[in-house]
């Protein structure tokens, strides 16, 4: 295992443009197919991206923005410009300055695993970094209210509405998680799915600090789903 990691860190070659084009096109096609299967996840990510900087980055790296970027790259006539950028990223990331390691091994194999890990770390360039800050803030980000409608070529309507909640380390996070499960299975399932005819519905509490309602149904305005979040405080009492 550690020899494979050593190959990735020290012998990475980013020179084959033809192979890069194939990988980008495969990735873009795979991401496009996930829209119909996980549209509610993308809808929540899009809504959450306007609430805090963490959710905004998450959407840029894994949401619709990421799919759009990959589609643009897949349709580009050449990816020659991308190779030096990838090499620069590798030089900045594949070193000891920001690496964090964790071993999960039996008591008999732990010592050998630690020695192998030490050998890997000693071969990686960079200096041992000091402790990273607990929080990274973006002073230029501010929360804003947005209403967004996107059109896609499939016959399912995905709807999401998000609010600021509390992060994973907050004392109220576990209580909010339980409340969201109760609301999903004891109320939303009955009111929105069984009575309203939606295919699926629920509430998701995100570790990054967002509370999101979602539903998916036939391609028509899901009025019941949009009205339900307003009743959340009363339902929890």
Contacts of residue 182, Cβ cutoff 8 Å, sequence gap at least 6? none
Question: Residue 131 above 80 pLDDT?
Answer: no
Q: Are residues 74 and 166 in the same domain?
A: no
| Residue 105: pLDDT band with limits 50, 70, 90 | confident
Please name the residue that has the structure tokens 């804003």: 144
As for how many domains the chain has, the answer is: 2
175-231 tens-digit pLDDT = 999 988 988 888 888 877 777 677 888 899 998 889 998 888 876 655 555 555 555
Q: Are residues 162 and 76 in the same domain?
A: no
Predicted pLDDT of residue 125: 84
What pTM was computed for the model? 0.79
Q: What is the DSSP string of 60-128?
A: HHHSHHHHHHHHHHHT-S--TTHHHHHHHHHHHHSSGGG--------TTTHHHHHHHHHHHHHHS-S-P
CA distance linking residue 44 with residue 38, whole number of Å: 10
Q: Are residues 44 and 115 in the same domain?
A: yes
Question: Residue 44 above 70 pLDDT?
Answer: yes
Under a CB-based contact definition with an 8 Å cutoff, are residues 212 and 184 in contact? no
Q: Are residues 162 and 70 in the same domain?
A: no
What are the percentages of helix, strand and coil residues in the chain, rounded to 5? Answer: 55, 10, 40
| Residue 81: pLDDT band with limits 50, 70, 90 | very high
Q: Are residues 8 and 116 in the same domain?
A: yes
12-33 tens-digit pLDDT = 888 889 999 999 999 999 998 8
| Residue 36: pLDDT band with limits 50, 70, 90 | confident
CA distance linking residue 33 with residue 11, whole number of Å: 33
Q: Are residues 36 and 110 in the same domain?
A: yes
Question: Residue 42 above 90 pLDDT?
Answer: yes
Question: Residue 10 above 60 pLDDT?
Answer: yes
Q: Are residues 93 and 177 in the same domain?
A: no
Q: Are residues 111 and 177 in the same domain?
A: no
| CATH number assigned to the domain comprising residue 187 | 3.30.830.10
Predicted pLDDT of residue 67: 95
Predicted pLDDT of residue 45: 94
Alpha carbon dihedral 37, 40, 41, 47, in 10-degree steps, equals 150
Give the residue, 178 or 126, on which the prediction is more confident: 178
CA distance linking residue 53 with residue 154, whole number of Å: 30
């Amino acid at each position: 295992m550690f020899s494979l990691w050593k190959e990735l860190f020290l012998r990475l070659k980013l020179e084959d443009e033809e192979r890069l084009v194939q990988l980008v096109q495969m990735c873009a096609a795979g991401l496009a197919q996930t829209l119909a299967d996980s549209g509610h996840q993308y809808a929540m990510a899009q809504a959450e991206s306007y609430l805090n900087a963490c959710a905004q980055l998450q959407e840029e790296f894994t949401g619709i923005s990421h799919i759009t970027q990959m589609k643009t790259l897949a349709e580009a006539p050449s990816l020659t410009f991308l190779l030096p950028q990838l090499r620069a990223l590798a030089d900045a990331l594949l070193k000891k300055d920001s690496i964090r390691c964790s071993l999960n091994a039996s008591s008999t194999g732990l010592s050998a695993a630690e020695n192998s890990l030490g050998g890997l770390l000693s071969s990686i360039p960079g200096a041992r970094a000091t402790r990273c800050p607990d929080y990274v803030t973006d002073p230029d980000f501010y929360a804003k209210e947005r209403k967004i409608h996107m059109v896609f070529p499939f016959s399912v309507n995905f709807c999401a509405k998000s609010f600021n909640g509390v992060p994973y380390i907050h004392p109220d996070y576990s209580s909010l998680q339980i409340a969201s499960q109760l609301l999903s299975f004891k109320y939303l399932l009955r009111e929105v799915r069984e009575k309203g005819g939606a295919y699926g519905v629920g509430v998701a509490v995100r570790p990054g600090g967002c509370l999101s309602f979602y539903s998916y149904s036939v391609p028509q305005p899901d009025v019941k789903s949009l009205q339900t979040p307003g009743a959340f405080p009363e339902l929890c009492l």
